[in-house]
Amino acid sequence: MYGKVKLHLQQELKAIADAGLFKNERIIVSPQDALIKLDNGKEVLNFCANNYLGLSSNPALIEAAHETLDTHGFGMSSVRFICGTTDLHKKLEEKIARFFGTEDTILYAACFDANGGVFEPLFGEEDAIISDSLNHASIIDGVRLCKAQRFRYANADVADLEEQLKKAASCRFRIIVTDGVFSMDGNVAPVDKICSLAEKYDALVMVDECHSAGVVGNTGRGVTELYNIRGQVDIITGTLGKAFGGAIGGFTTGRKEIIELLRQRSRPYLFSNSIPPAIVGAGIALFDMMNVTTELQDRLHQNTDFFRKEIVRAGFTIKPSKSAIVAIMLFDARLSQDFAAALLEEGIYVIGFYYPVVPKGEARIRVQLSAAHTRENLEQAINAFIKVGKKLQVI
């Protein structure tokens, strides 16, 4: 039986490889950090992790995880509503709500699940979801699982958004959905203007803060802090898998009734396991840490400003943004791959992105800054960019 399918799959895989789109995974044999060790023995500086606050291997979080293993065991063996809720799960949900200034929080196994399970319980055929064209795959999938009418607006384009809101005027409810920070350009969504339009056209607002929480805003509380609009965004989704420790876990936080209904009806919550206690214990320690000091956010912001300034001064073209993502534009797909390979030789690990991940003719190197990077690390990276840039005649 498998014969025909096998042949078909082999052809598919070959087509992916022939198109140069085959994803090879690099193997790391050290903990995730600014400096990592690869399985070929090479040590490289990591500029492509979502480890924005440098917490992936933070000793206090590791200790909290260890302690929780001792007090609450390894696994929950249950969904939340049967026997998968501990005192710690409730405590973490409360801490997340306090962090964002929202009313309540619901945890998921990942933000992919939070986004996958947020629309279907809340919206039906008579409603409209108005979504940014560059929203994350999990939002796109979540919208697909829901019967609401779909409207799309060009990335961060408030004029187009207004057009779509007018088109959706006859629907019962409208919700505008956007990523807080878009992962490829690092641009921050204009959530202040989005909230004004939501007010004018009677719509809810949902922001996916995966790349913005912990990063954007003076104390890292995300886009609602950056634009000073705390309390105006109805639904925020986020992850514990990026700035917030980098392990796993997602959440939806926002209006009380919304979260309450999600607990009753959201399928990834009802039909998937509880996140393990050690992750939850570390999460609690993390949000406690965020309340005590903004040292990590401060360092991340300093690192990002420094890197951005120096890379522009060296003659590179970057996309403007306020996030910890710096898109260094090379435009040519082949060049982006050669550039990344040459940087790896110099001990700098970054990824070159090209079509179809980014638009045609917009190939780039994406650099992600971290609070874990030292000034020396940044200087080493900038010097490597200059060396390779000159060699490949980019600057």
Ligand X SMILES: *Cc1c(COP(=O)(O)O)cnc(C)c1O
Stretch that binds ligand X, among 16-24, 89-97, 108-116, 285-293 (CB under 6 A): 108-116
Candidates 97, 210, 327, 382; binder of ligand X (CB under 6 A) is 210
Candidates 112, 123, 287, 354; binder of ligand X (CB under 6 A) is 112
Tell which positions 120-139 bind ligand X, by CB under 6 A: 136, 138
Stretch that binds ligand X, among 12-20, 123-131, 168-176, 203-211 (CB under 6 A): 203-211
- Closest contact distance (angstroms) between CB of 209 and ligand X is 8
Stretch that binds ligand X, among 110-118, 161-169, 263-271, 356-364 (CB under 6 A): 110-118
**Interface with ligand X, residue 104, by CB under 6 A:** no
- Closest contact distance (angstroms) between CB of 208 and ligand X is 4
Nearer to ligand X, 109 or 378 (CB): 109
- Closest contact distance (angstroms) between CB of 210 and ligand X is 3
Secondary structure (H, E, C), the chain: CHHHHHHHHHHHHHHHHHCCCCCCCCCECCCCCCEEEECCCCEEEECCCCCCCCCCCCHHHHHHHHHHHHHHCCCCCCCHHHHCCCHHHHHHHHHHHHHHCCCEEEEECCHHHHHHCCCCCCCCCCCEEEEECCCCHHHHHHHHCCCCEEEEECCCCHHHHHHHHHHCCCCCCEEEEEECECCCCCCECCHHHHHHHHHHHCCEEEEECCCCCCCCCCCCCCHHHHCCCCCCCCEEEEECCCCCCCCCCEEEEECHHHHHHHHHHCHHHHCCCCCCHHHHHHHHHHHHHHHHCCHHHHHHHHHHHHHHHHHHHCCCEECCCCCCEEEEEEECHHHHHHHHHHHHHCCEECEEECCCCCCCCCEEEEEECCCCCCHHHHHHHHHHHHHHHHHCCCC
Nearer to ligand X, 111 or 333 (CB): 111
Nearer to ligand X, 246 or 389 (CB): 246
- Closest contact distance (angstroms) between CB of 92 and ligand X is 15
- Closest contact distance (angstroms) between CB of 388 and ligand X is 28
Stretch that binds ligand X, among 53-61, 74-82, 109-117, 225-233 (CB under 6 A): 109-117
Tell which positions 250-289 bind ligand X, by CB under 6 A: 250
Candidates 241, 245, 254, 352; binder of ligand X (CB under 6 A) is 241
Active-site residue numbers?
Answer: 183, 211, 242
Chain residues binding ligand X by CB under 6 A are: 110-112, 115, 136, 138, 179, 183, 208, 210-211, 239, 241, 250
